[in-house]
Structure 1
Amino acid sequence: MEINGVEIKDNYAEGFGIKVTRILVTAATKRLAKIAATEATGYGTSVIGCPAEAGIDCYVPPTETPDGRPGYVIMLCQGSKKQLDHELLERIGMCILTAPTTAAFNVLDDADEELKTGFKLKFFGDGFEDELEIDGRKMHSIPIMSGDFLVESTFGFKAGVAGGNFFILAENQMAGVMAAEAAVDAISAVEGVITPFPGGMVASGSKVGCNNYKFLNASTNEKMCVTLKDKVDSDIREDANGVFEIVIDGIDEESVRAAMKAGIEAACNVPGVLEIDAGNFGGNLGAYKINLQDLF
């Protein structure tokens, strides 16, 4: 199968279940909201080493937010309910409460369970905190130097999908970069998903385990490293010298599939792209098998 002359391999991405929450961060200006959202999603590329996978989902204009101010929806993903609870408290408390003029709202309506994040954070007010309602939501108002920080009392989470992915194989590194950027831009228009790696692009694709060092849970995917093509049993075609992976987390499988389709279509429009492939672990990692050709 081809799209614009780019080969779409008959292969599948292997996704796995994860717990997902969505938070709307608003502020007095779009710039301040973006800063807070960016801070709150830092160090969130992969649960291989990070405490959560995290990223910015979408921008929300003032006409669509509970407090009539600009905001960004962020997503946090973790396999453990206890760890997700911890990450919510840490990231809202240390990265959003500390940011100027912000407020934090729950925007996961179909939650499986709720976490009492805002209720816990209210005690930062040292007895001066208050309770109010905004747009039918129970909010805690915490006095801080710049005014009051408003946070919803509870935040929901649900079973989502992590690890949706595809590989872009290009003639050279810059063609791969341009294609990956185009893919990430296209995916950003799909609501309910994030691309948690830096700039949405994975430069360091990994494999489960390690061949030579048994103390590592994951290590470099040598079969997809362009500088090792002549040294290992490579999975990279001879004419490809730029490889990037796009990893996608979403609120459900349908959202991840939509994001993969949008990203692949965008990448295939960039000159120099040769092939689209996907990463999997033979069905040993997760229950979701998303075949690339089935997306089209």
Structure 2
Amino acid sequence: MEINGVEIKDNYAEAFGIKVTRILITAATKNLAKVAATEATGYGTSVIGCPAEAGIDCYMPPTETPDGRPGYVIMICNGSKKKLDHELLERIGMCVLTAPTTAAFNLLDDEDDLLKTGFKLKFFGDGYEETLEIDGRKMHAIPIMSGDFLVEDKFGYKDGVAGGNFFIIANSKMSGLVAAEVAVDAISAVPNVITPFPGGMVASGSKVGCNSYDFLDASTNEKMCISLKEKGLESNIREDAHGVFEIVIDGADEESVRAAMKAGIEAACTVDGVLEIDAGNFGGNLGAYKINLQDLF
């Protein structure tokens, strides 16, 4: 199968289940909202080593937010409800409450099982906090130096999908980089997904386990490393390829991850120098979701 002359390999991306939250951060200006959203999603590339996978989903204009101010939607993901609860408390408490003029709203409702993030954070107010309602939402107003920090009482979460992915194989590093950037831009228009790695691109593609050291749970995917191929080691990279970039996607559900993969691949295939699109999987050792590349089209 080909798109614009780019081969789409008959291969699948192996993804896994994860707990997902969606949080809206608003502020007095669009820039301040983005700064807070960026801070709150830092150190969130991969649960291999990070305490969560996190990223900015989309911008939300004032006409669509509960308080009529500009905002950004972020997603925070972790495999454990307990750890996710901790991450929300830490990230909203340390990165959003500390940011000027911000407020934090829940975007996932589940009356049966909600995280009491705002309820816990209110105690920072040292007894001066107040409870109020905004757009039908129970909010806590915590006095801080720049005014009041507003946070919703509880935050919902759901079962999502992490690790949707595809590899861009190009004839040069720069061609692959341009294609990866174009792919991430296209994915940013798909709702309910994030690309948690720096710039949305994964430079350090990994595999489950390690060949040489028994103390590592994950290590470099040596068969997809350009420098090792050029040294003559066994490789899965075609001979005429000199640039490989991976895009990893987390989403609120499998449908959203599939839509994002499709959009990203189609965009990457418009760039000159892209030779093929492949995917990463681990023989079923990582997750329950198998998303075949050719089935996306």
Q: Quick check: TM above 0.5?
A: yes
Structure 1, gaps ≥5 residues long: none
8 Å contact kept, 1:112–1:157? no
Deviations 1:74-116 (A, max 9, x none): 0000001111000000000000000000000001136772100
Deviations 1:196-241 (A, max 9, x none): 0000000000001110111111110000000111432200000110
8 Å contact kept, 1:59–1:73? yes
After the TM superposition, list the runs of 4 or more consecutive aligned residues in structure 1 that deviate by more than 6 angstroms: none
Of residues 71-80 and 230-239 in structure 1, the stretch that sits farther from structure 2 once superposed is 230-239
Of residues 106-115 and 282-291 in structure 1, the stretch that sits farther from structure 2 once superposed is 106-115
Deviations 1:153-195 (A, max 9, x none): 0000000000000000001111011000000000000000000
Deviations 1:116-146 (A, max 9, x none): 0000000000000000000110000000000
CA distance in 2, matches of 1:112, 1:8: 43
8 Å contact kept, 2:30–2:70? yes
Normalised by the size of structure 1, how large is the TM-score? Answer: 0.99
CA distance in 1, matches of 2:295, 2:183: 18
Deviation of the 1:285 alpha carbon: 1.1
The two structures, once aligned, show a CA RMSD in angstroms of 0.9
One-letter identity of the residue aligned with 2:219? S
When the two structures are aligned, how many residues end up with a matched partner? Answer: 296
One-letter identity of the residue aligned with 1:212? S
One-letter identity of the residue aligned with 2:228? L
Deviation of the 1:38 alpha carbon: 0.1
CA distance in 2, matches of 1:74, 1:199: 15
Q: From the superposition, tell whether residues 111 and 73 of structure 1 become closer, same or farther in structure 2 (CA, over 3 Å).
A: farther
Partner of residue 127, structure 1 = 127
One-letter identity of the residue aligned with 1:279? G
Partner of residue 208, structure 1 = 208
Q: From the superposition, tell whether residues 193 and 172 of structure 1 become closer, same or farther in structure 2 (CA, over 3 Å).
A: same
Query: Residues 1-296 of structure 1: matches in 2 within 5 Å?
Result: 1-109=1-109, 113-229=113-229, 230-296=231-297
CA distance in 2, matches of 1:285, 1:208: 7
Aligned-pair identity (%): 85
Structure 2, gaps ≥5 residues long: none
CA distance in 2, matches of 1:145, 1:73: 25
